Structure 1
Amino acid sequence: MAFAPNPLPPEIDYSTLALPLAEAMQAIGELNGAGRGLANPALVIRPLQRQEALLSSSMEGTYTTANALAIAEAGAETDVDDSTIEVRNYLRAFELADRLRQEIPISNRLIKQTHAMLLSGARRERGAHKRPGEYKDQQNFIGGRNRQIENARFIPPPPAETEIAMAALERYINRDQRGNTPAIIDAALFHYQFETIHPFADGNGRVGRILIPIFLMQENVLERPLLYLSPAVEGRKDDYVDLMLAVSRDGDWNGWLRFFLEMVTSSCRSACRTLSDLENLRHDMRSRVTNAGGSARDVMTIDDLFVTPVLSIPRLAERRGVTYPAAKAAVERLIALGILAEVESTSNPKLFICWPVVHLSEGR
C-alpha cells in the first residue's frame, strides 16, 4: 500500500492560525526591511546560504564543515570528499533555482533542473537509482528497519502516480485564482505536498527546502533570498517529520501549518540577527584594513571574503589585476591583521581562509 495525497487545497481552520500567521508575516516584513538596509546584500546572502546548505544537507545525513565547503567553493577540486561536493551542489542548485524562477514560474521543469544540479558530480552512490533531474522510476519509502519496505514508516505515491501528482501540484502553485489563501500558507501546503509525493529517488528534502524561499520570492512575499528554514527546523527535526506525517495519517493540517509558521518566524528573527552580525563583522574588518593603511584593493578583498572566504594568491592576483608579489603582500597584510589564516596541508596553490566569516556560516 502507498499513500497518494489529496489535491490541494484542504479545508483550513484559520481561526487557530490568526496569531502565528500574523507573527510570521510581521517577521518576514522585518527581514525584508533588514535586507533593504544592507549596504551590499550580496555579501551577506552567501554566508546565510552556506549555513542553510550545511544544515539542510546534515538533516539528510550528509555532513561536512564550513571550512571544507569554503575550500570547495574556492575551486579546489583535490581532496574534496563526496559529502562536501553534495553540500556545494546545494548552493549551486539554489542559485540555479533562483535564476530560473526569474525566467519561468516554479514548475516541474524548474524542479527537475534544480534536482539535477543538486546531484551532479557526486561520486558516492546514495542508491542505485538516483536519476538526477528525473522523477523516480521505482517505488521509494521512508524509514523502516533494515531498509525494508515492509517495515517502512511511510510509502509515497508509486512512480506511475508521481507525474500526475506533480502536474497537479504545478497547476496549484501557479493558479490564477488564489482566493484568500495567503502565500505563506501556500508555501506550507506546497512543501507538505512535495515531500509527501517524494518524487525523486534521492534529494527530496533538500530540493523541498530550496523551493520554500524560491516560492516566496515568486509570490513577492520575500524580497531577497534571506529566509532559510533549516537552522530552525534542525532542532525540531522530529516535529518536522511527525507533523507532516500527521497530515497524511490524520488530516491534521492545522498542526503542520502552526509549526511551519513558527519556523518561519524563528528563521526570520535568526536571519536578522545573523545579518546584523555579518554587517558588524564586515565593518570591523574594513576598519582594521583602513586604519592599518590598507589600499582600496584590500578593502575590496574584504568584501570578496564574505562571498568566498577562501582565496589563493594567484586567484587574488587575477581578480585584483595585480602581480603575484603584490597579491602575496596583500595576503600577508591580512594575515597580520588576523583576517586571514593559512589553510594547513594545502599547496599549489596554498589557500588562505577567513575564519570569522566561516564561523558565522556555522552559526557561531
Structure 2
Amino acid sequence: MIDAAPNPRLGRYIETPVAGETVRAFVPPPLPPDPPIDVLGLIDRLSLAERALGRLDGITMLLPRQELFLYMYVRKEAVLSSQIEGTQSTLSDLLRFETEAQDGEPIDDIREVSNYVDAMMHGLERLDTLPLSLRLIREMHGRLLQSGRGETKAPGEFRRTQNWIGGSRPGTALFVPPPVSELETCLDALERFFHDETSRLPALIRAGLIHVQFETLHPFLDGNGRIGRLLVTLYLCVHGVLRSPLLYLSLYLKTHRAEYYRLLQDVREKGDWEAWLDFFLTGVTETANQAFDAATRIVDLFKEDRERITSDSARAGSALRVHDWFEQAPFLTSGQLVERTGLTAPTVNAALADLERLGIIEEFTGRKRGRVFRYHRYLEILNEGTDPVGTS
C-alpha cells in the first residue's frame, strides 16, 4: 500500500524551547496555497461580496459629506477591533474623550482605541507615498502601541522572542506561531505575496489569505489581531476594490468569534482554506450591506432633521449652523459651539434649546455648568453592535 502524498497546504512544526518548556511551533507554507484555491466553488459568495462592495462604494460617492461618514466609521471599527482584544470602551466613550467632554472613564481602554484610530489613519495616508509593506505595518504598529498598556511590548518592532496563543503557559497553548529563527523568512514571503499577480486570484480572495497568514505568523508581541484586521481594508484599497476605506470586519468577527478562531485553526491543521474563505466572503457581504444601510439611514436622518429645523424653528439659521456641527461631532458643549460656529453664547444657547425642544439633541449630564449635549438618534445608528464583548 502506497502512503498518500503529504498535503503541501500543511505547514511544519519545529520544536522550540520557551520559558523552560519545549513546544511545537508552527511554520506555515508561503502563499498562495498549493493545491490552488477552488475559486469556482466560491464564485457565488465572491459575486455577492463584490456586488455589496460596489453598492457601498456607490452610496458613499453620493454622501453629502463622505469624509464625515469615514471619520465616524473608522472610529466604530477602532472600538470593535479593540473590544475583540478585551477593551471595554464604547464608541460613545471614544467620541466624548475626543471632544474633551468626558471625565472618569477607563482611560487606558480609551487611549488604546484612540491609538488604533491614529494607526489606521496613518496607514491610509501613507499609502499615497509608501506601498503596502512590512515597513508600513511596523509604522502602524508603532502608533498602535505608542502609549497605554502596549508601550512596553516593542511598538513598531517584530518580536524577538517566542509567543503563544491561548493557555496560561507555552505547554498548554492553543497555538504556537513560528519561532523567531523562521519569522523573517515567513514575513518576507508574505510581503512578496502583497504584490504577487502570478496567481491571478481575485483581490478579495487574496485579502482573506493575507489576513490568516498574518494572524498565523503573529509577528508582534501585542496588537497582531488589530493590525491583521486592518490589513484587509488596506489591501482592498490598494487594489482598487474600495475607493474609500469603509469595509471593516470587526463587528462580524466579534459576533462570530468562536467560528472565526475555529476556521483559522482549521487552515493551520487541515489546510482548509475554502471553508475560511466562504466565511470571510460572507462577512464581507454582511459588513458592506450593514455599512450601506447605516450610511443611508444617516443621510435620511440628517435630511429629516434639517427639514424639521427649517419648518419648525423660530431661529432656523442659527439652529442649522449648530446642527451642522453636531453632524461632525455627536457630543458637544455650548462653549465648543460658540468657538466653532462664531455665534454668540446667547444665540448658541437659544439654538440648543430649540434643538432640544424638537427632540433632535438632548442634554444628559444634568449639570448646571459644563453641560454636554448629544445627537442621540445619530449615536444610536453609529453605536449598533458596539456593546463590549460579553455584554451583548
Structure 2 length normalisation: TM-score?
A: 0.85
Question: Which has the larger displacement, 102-111 or 217-226?
Answer: 102-111
Taking a change above 3 Å as real, the CA distance of residues 46 and 105 of structure 1, as seen in their structure-2 partners, is same
Counterparts of 1:152 and 1:311, CA distance in 2: 46
- 1:109-258 superposed matches below 5 A: 109-122=135-148, 125=149, 129-144=152-167, 147-175=168-196, 177-258=197-278
Counterparts of 2:198 and 2:289, CA distance in 1: 28
Taking a change above 3 Å as real, the CA distance of residues 322 and 160 of structure 1, as seen in their structure-2 partners, is farther
Q: Please report how far the alpha carbon of residue 311 of structure 1 lies from its aligned counterpart in structure 2 after TM superposition.
A: 1.2
Task: Report percent identity of matched pairs.
Answer: 36
Residue 62 of structure 2: aligned partner: 37
Question: Which has the larger displacement, 259-268 or 104-113?
Answer: 104-113
Counterparts of 1:8 and 1:353, CA distance in 2: 48
SS in 2 for 1:271: helix
Matched, 1:329 2:350: yes
Q: Give 2:93's match in structure 1, choosing from 63, 68, 78.
A: 68
Matched, 1:19 2:48: no
Q: Give 1:274's match in structure 2, choosing from 278, 287, 294.
A: 294
Question: Are 1:139 and 1:158, in contact at CA under 8 Å, matched by a contact in 2?
Answer: yes
Q: Which amino acid aligns with 1:278?
A: I
Residue 19 of structure 2: aligned partner: none
Q: Please report how far the alpha carbon of residue 347 of structure 1 lies from its aligned counterpart in structure 2 after TM superposition.
A: 8.4
Question: Are 1:62 and 1:83, in contact at CA under 8 Å, matched by a contact in 2?
Answer: yes
Counterparts of 2:154 and 2:102, CA distance in 1: 24
Counterparts of 2:116 and 2:329, CA distance in 1: 15
Taking a change above 3 Å as real, the CA distance of residues 162 and 80 of structure 1, as seen in their structure-2 partners, is farther
Counterparts of 1:251 and 1:48, CA distance in 2: 34
Question: Are 2:162 and 2:179, in contact at CA under 8 Å, matched by a contact in 1?
Answer: yes
Q: Please report how far the alpha carbon of residue 342 of structure 1 lies from its aligned counterpart in structure 2 after TM superposition.
A: 2.3
Q: Which amino acid aligns with 1:27?
A: A
Q: Which amino acid aligns with 2:249?
A: L
List per-residue Cα deviations over 1:306-354 (Å, max 9, x = no partner): 3321112222222112333333333333223222222427787432222
Q: Which amino acid aligns with 1:64?
A: S
Larger Rg: 2
SS in 2 for 1:33: helix
Which ranges of structure 1 fall in alignment gaps of 5 or more residues? Answer: none
Counterparts of 2:336 and 2:186, CA distance in 1: 47
Counterparts of 1:215 and 1:308, CA distance in 2: 29
Q: Please report how far the alpha carbon of residue 78 of structure 1 lies from its aligned counterpart in structure 2 after TM superposition.
A: 4.2
Counterparts of 1:96 and 1:272, CA distance in 2: 25
Taking a change above 3 Å as real, the CA distance of residues 300 and 192 of structure 1, as seen in their structure-2 partners, is farther
Matched, 1:285 2:305: yes
Question: Which has the larger displacement, 72-81 or 232-241?
Answer: 72-81
Matched, 1:86 2:106: no
Structure 1 length normalisation: TM-score?
A: 0.91
Question: Are 1:334 and 1:340, in contact at CA under 8 Å, matched by a contact in 2?
Answer: yes
How many residue pairs are counted as aligned between the two chains? 358
Q: Which amino acid aligns with 1:268?
A: A
Matched, 1:361 2:382: yes
Counterparts of 1:111 and 1:96, CA distance in 2: 10
Residue 101 of structure 1: aligned partner: 127
- 1:309-348 superposed matches below 5 A: 309-344=330-365
Q: Give 1:47's match in structure 2, choosing from 72, 80, 85.
A: 72
Counterparts of 1:297 and 1:154, CA distance in 2: 59
Q: Please report how far the alpha carbon of residue 54 of structure 1 lies from its aligned counterpart in structure 2 after TM superposition.
A: 2.3
Question: Are 1:66 and 1:359, in contact at CA under 8 Å, matched by a contact in 2?
Answer: no
Q: Please report how far the alpha carbon of residue 71 of structure 1 lies from its aligned counterpart in structure 2 after TM superposition.
A: 0.5
Q: Please report how far the alpha carbon of residue 300 of structure 1 lies from its aligned counterpart in structure 2 after TM superposition.
A: 4.1
Q: Please report how far the alpha carbon of residue 305 of structure 1 lies from its aligned counterpart in structure 2 after TM superposition.
A: 2.5
SS in 1 for 2:332: strand
List per-residue Cα deviations over 1:6-44 (Å, max 9, x = no partner): 111112112211111111111111111222222221232
Output the aligned Cα RMSD: 2.2
Question: Which has the larger displacement, 195-204 or 285-294?
Answer: 285-294
Counterparts of 1:178 and 1:312, CA distance in 2: 55
Q: Which amino acid aligns with 1:143?
A: G
Taking a change above 3 Å as real, the CA distance of residues 335 and 183 of structure 1, as seen in their structure-2 partners, is same
